[in-house]
Structures are given as C-alpha cells and as structure tokens.
Amino acid sequence: MAPVTQVLLIANVAVFLLQSYAEGVLIGSFALWPLHASGGAPGFAPWQLVTYSFLHGSGMHLLFNMLALYMFGSDIERVFGSRRFAAYYAVCVITAALAQLLVATLTMGPPHPTVGASGGVFGLLLAFGLYFPRRTVILIFPPIPMPAWLFVSLYGALELFLGVTGTQEGVAHFAHLGGMLGGYLMIRYWRTRSRFR
C-alpha cells in the first residue's frame, strides 16, 4: 500500500477508536459545524475544514470510506507521487467542506455536524475515473461490472440527484460533489501549469 494512503487509513481508524472514549468532545470541537450554528450547538472553527474528515458517524460509515480509500488511493498516489497525493486529498476534503457549508448556509436548517472522509474519497474516485477510465469496477450491490469512467459518471449524477431532491436525509451529498469538484479543479490546474512550462 502506498505510504500516504496507509497513513490516512491508520489515522481514520485511530480517530474512530478514540471517538468511542470521547465522542462528545471530538464531535463538538472537530466535526464540521454550520456557520449559523446556534442554540447551544457548537460553532464553526477553521480547523474543522480538515478535522471533520477523520471523524465518522458509525463503523459502517468508516468501513465504506476506508474500503474506497484502500481500493483507489494507492493507484492515484502512484500516479501523483506522495506529496501531490497528500495535497490533492487535502484540497478535496476542504472543497467538500466548503460546499457543505455553502449548502447549510443557503438552506438554514437546524445545525447538524458533518463528519467523514467521503469528500476526499470522492475526489479520489474522480481521479481514478480520469486516469484509469477503462479499468473495470464492480459494484457491491448489485454486482455489476462497468468501466471506471462510467461508474464515476453515474455515481456523480446520482449524488447530484439525491442532493437536489433531498433524498437520504443526513447524507452530505453536496460535500461529496464538492470533493469531486475540488479534485477536478486541482487536476486541471496541474495540467495547465505543465502545458505552460
């Protein structure tokens, strides 16, 4: 396993284990809280743009995110190199957080914390679809094989549909899309810079 991918996996699992002892403190201080949080809810702090991605709502939430990180992370890290991979993942996590904050501000619903590595994972998913478009990906349910580019396109479209319709309440669909957007912009920036060199 590539080194940064391995560190991210270990860090996420370690923080989840720590949550079982101090979940209230960790969620209150390090989950991503909306800018308008009030009524006794913890408020937003700048470090939450990153720290929320190491917290998870359940063991299943952690399992699916870490499975995706394991499946796609090492291949992308080998393409980018470890330093660029770490920067790419961080950008995806932050743009996912910004997208979530924007949606929470526009909807002004009750303040709920956002947790999970999904923003970074969706950025990796986008990169995998761009760099390995013909690699076969098999869904868990239903087990249908398809090329990576199609899998990523369908998954992105599904997230947009679920976000717009408000389906699956409690899932940060726009954060997922924000992670994909951040990843796309980062890759475009790197490609443009290389072209002008």
Predicted confidence band at 195 (pLDDT cuts at 50, 70, 90)? low
Tell me: the pLDDT tens digits for 10-52?
Answer: 999 999 999 988 888 899 889 998 887 665 567 888 999 999 9
pLDDT, tens digit, for every residue of 113-150?
899 999 999 999 999 999 999 999 887 767 888 899 99
Question: pLDDT of 54-110, one tens digit each?
Answer: 999 889 999 999 999 999 999 999 999 999 999 999 999 999 999 999 988 887 667
Residues 34, 99 contacting (CB under 8 angstroms)? no
d(CA 131, CA 161): 25
Lookup: tokens for 51: 């720290």
Q: How confident is the model at residue 197 (pLDDT cuts 50, 70, 90)?
A: low
Assess whether pLDDT exceeds 80 at residue 194.
no
Strand, coil or helix: 138: strand
**Architecture of the structural domain at 3-196:** Up-down Bundle (1.20)
- Across-strand partners of 146? 137
Phi, psi for residue 32 in degrees, rounded to 5: -85, 110
What are the domain boundaries of the chain?
3-196
